[in-house]
Structure 1
């Protein structure tokens, strides 16, 4: 498939009016061997957990644990569908989930939510310094490009705009995530070169569910697919494939930006073993699953020599994305491994498809699974319960049950 090479785009900041950045963190003493941060236990209330205000500074990461997973990474990334690793939760898998969860959290910690800022809706930091400003250099990844999505679609809860439209950095785009790649030392500990894609979601708010059309639409023509019966939720598809030709940031769709960058990185590391790991929370989870399907469907998980590239997805609080045929093609035809981390009290993973879904009685689902509002979850589920934690408010609202930091707190135990 012919592609157009597009350069990495970041918000150009005027020298005379730069945004307020947090102070640069102290230099890390990490040797960039794979290290996974152990999250320090903290007393959390729902109110604290669901705050959408960006903290002025992130605390320095606690003491890091070094972990070499070069011999077991395929198992930790779903080679055997995580058999025997979920109950009890394997320590190595726990650290992997937290690592990618922190990557998803980074999309929230760096997003400019300030409606009085001309850069509202953008990332507050340039891509080459993202992990530095977030005190995440110890992870050993380098951001290769940012992803932007167009605000043309009907998901207003996802898009944030400045209250001063005549001074906005873009009236059509929002920052949607980033693509990063492991450095040499980290790749050695990982056992492969890891291309990580992190999609921004909607922090804690669940209002965006009301924006969904609850309508399944075919992938084609936006995503060429050999099975015309494969369908996904229309809003997710629009967010992933729409573009605004007149905007420099979303002149190309989020889909095109991802495919172009992944193709470039796969070619760059052609002589190495490569993996693609995609993560996201909430709405970002849906984009993670959809982009994983797309990468496999378009064959970007196959190198020139015919060897395959392992694609795995680790999502948090994710909704259903497509129908039964979507699930079958993703899992069986393409072999994409998906681990869905959910809170049993979170309403987002229960939607869309409240009526007909994979949890319906078998005879009901078999009879009605072809309807345009019949959905099916993909992958393997790891279920959490925030009411089991003495440090979380058991009577919190829906936002508390949906909060990513609360999810990571529960995973950390």
Structure 2
């Protein structure tokens, strides 16, 4: 008989607080009732900006942070799950988030977000204003057995001819090579665009040596677009990043990473569109790409011809990222000629890389059927993408562009950051 460990301690109960936005009080009460019936322990509803209309509140009289939601109602709920650690709950919680977003969507609203933590802590800090349902011991029990993510297919072959960024390329050598590009383009590193000039100055760049190349490249990416925010400074820095990505003196692995940064920037608009799709639809709005994001993408599009001119000189990893960048930022139809070149990439049939290449090809060729098929295959082995594809309000092309940087750089990453 198998022995059981009587000293084993069950993990503390895990909690998830969801926030839904609904257009009317009636819709909010309906959604609240459905969540309570599903086992949520605490559920409250409040008019949007409730505390700004409460004279006893610190927020009383202060301007709304989101005036578009004037007259809307919010639902706050706490779901408790016990008996499993957070990692084991991941597939189940993902499904729950998709389901609860559907609860809001079905009543003309949207899922505004969620917070997670130990259930006892979340229950203690839960704001009870507007509490409409309370069940002291209620839990949302995960199914038995717990759902598990499918094992991904075997990766494609290793990227050949790509010297890693670590540890062969010493951080100080990479910094010097980047500074040399800035000096060639702008006369001095300090005269580089504002987003990166401070980073490349003598005192900062060499005052305290970087421990790793990755740390420097991370600082560079964050300087260009802090927390992913594209501004006029980001637009000004695009030509510099493009020069780094095409300069032969920059180590190949570093150029691939910079191409990945450009890919991430180029996909920002699509990522925002997918993330806010339900909200935009609920408010009856039309998606408008922020000006800084749009100008950044167009600046990358202008830099693409020079980057693509190096196609035959680049290794397969750089070509892989370049093709994704063209699919994301090239003007419509401008990257179609690359489709036939994709067959030269090492992407065996059935591999995750083959699915990503198929997605890139469909984007380049504006192949709607191929795009749908590629997304379906990717979702089958990478269920985290299901959150992006669950909303009916995001166009397939937006979803594809939004997920492309993750798919590409997760594949290339082990080769440049072993």
State the TM-score, normalized to the length of structure 1.
0.27
TM-score (norm 2): 0.27
* Structure label with greater radius of gyration: 2
